[in-house]
A = this chain, B = another copy of it.
Amino acid sequence: MSVRENHRREVIDRLTDVFRVHGYEGATLSRIARETGLQKASLYHLFPGGKEEMAQVVLRDIGLGLKEMLATTVGRSGTPAERASALTNALRTFYEDGRRSCLLETLSLGEPAKTFRPLIEEAMSTWRAAMTGLAREAGFPPGEATRRAERCITLVQGALVVTRVMGDHKIFADALDEVPRLLTQP
């Protein structure tokens, strides 16, 4: 990866942080400039579409990262139980044990969300499809598999919110412990 690509990667990571913590409307350009170490004008050089393009790029990037994560966990070899466990651990890492909010949540709030809804929905659909497939392999019929996948995503999203509010990481840990069981055990 070239120096330039590396730099862009880092900028996107910082952007992701800001949008994760503050949502779209709370992510002001001055804050973004502060957190990335770039001036506002420089940000407009990297993202001519302004703040909206920044959010779009970040969302696409998260979508790709999610697919990659699913590929290296759900998509790898092993029993369904093993892969469900790997996926759960990856989620733990991704959300830093509940310390970080989900971009799909924070960017789905308010009026600006209308623009991002398709991207957000696609990412969550990918997530659900992977989990559904895993539950299918574990022996559940289609409808039940989907229901369980949705239940898992619900658990993760809910745990992130409750953990954020209560400041208790144990809640997130407990909720994620349930995921492998839901996906593979009757």
Contact = CB atoms under 8 A, between A and B. Distances in A.
Contacts of A153: 158, 162
A120 interface: yes
Interface string A132-149: 000000000000000100
A110 B165 contact: no
A162 B110 contact: no
A140 to B, nearest CB: 15
Interface in A151-186: 151, 153-159, 161-162, 164-167, 171, 174-175, 178
Contact of A165 (B111, B124, B175): B124
Interface stretch (A21-29, A47-55, A67-75): A21-29
Interface residues of A, number: 41
B171 A22 contact: no
B162 A150 contact: yes
A143 to B, nearest CB: 11
A108 B161 contact: yes
Q: Is the interface of A mostly helix, strand, loop or mixed?
A: helix
Contacts of A158: 153-159, 161
A21 B166 CA distance: 21
A138 B157 CA distance: 27
Nearest to A31: B111
A36 interface: no
B23 A166 contact: no
Given A23-B109, A121-B166, A147-B174, 5 more contacts: A23-B25, A108-B161, A108-B164, A125-B166, A154-B171
Interface of A: 21-26, 101-102, 104-106, 108-112, 117, 120-121, 124-125, 147, 150-151, 153-159, 161-162, 164-167, 171, 174-175, 178
